[in-house]
Amino acid sequence: MGAFVETYRVVLADDQPALRQILRKILSGRRQLEVVGEAGDGVTLLHLLRDSDVLPQMVILDISMPNMAGIETARQLRTLFPSIKVLILTVHAESEYVSQAFTAGAAGYLLKHEADTELFRAIRVIRRGGVYRSRRIESAVA
């Protein structure tokens, strides 16, 4: 009999419903991952978490969202829910965004076009307590 693996709860925060749907489908294909919520902006995400009985261990968060952008949302998460890890999933490769995201408390930074090859690796590294930068970001900041 195999060892019990705890389910890792994830919330998706992106203003594109189609992308959230795709991510939900991809993540739900892994037994140890469970998408427990979605939000289209930072304000909705914070309300969702405040009203939640069981918090996720990770939020996958876009930078460009209405009402409250991802960087500010990450800051709020660090203050209000310090146990939740944040993985930024974005199109923004500029070093200013990367720097701001990590300063705001993100544990990982992944570009959307790299998600098909790096998403599960990023989640695994962050879940184990590490910090993740996508390959393109790593080479840009090196």
Q: For residue 36, how far is the Cα from the chain centroid?
A: 13
Q: Where are the beta strands (DSSP E) in the chain?
A: 8-13, 33-39, 58-61, 85-90, 108-111, 132-133
Pick left, alpha or beta for residue 67 (phi over 0 → left; psi -120 to 50 → alpha; otherwise beta). left
pLDDT confidence of residue 136: 79
pLDDT confidence of residue 74: 98
Strand order of the β-sheet with 108-111 is 33-39, 8-13, 58-61, 85-90, 108-111, 132-133
- The burial class, CB within 10 Å (0-12 / 13-18 / 19+), for 86 is buried
Q: Which CATH architecture has domain 8-141?
A: 3-Layer(aba) Sandwich (3.40)
- pTM beyond cutoff 0.85: yes
Q: pLDDT tens digits, the chain, 142 residues: what are they?
A: 445 558 999 999 999 999 999 999 999 888 899 999 999 999 999 999 999 988 999 999 999 999 999 999 999 999 999 999 999 999 999 999 999 999 999 999 999 999 989 999 999 999 999 999 988 777 655 5
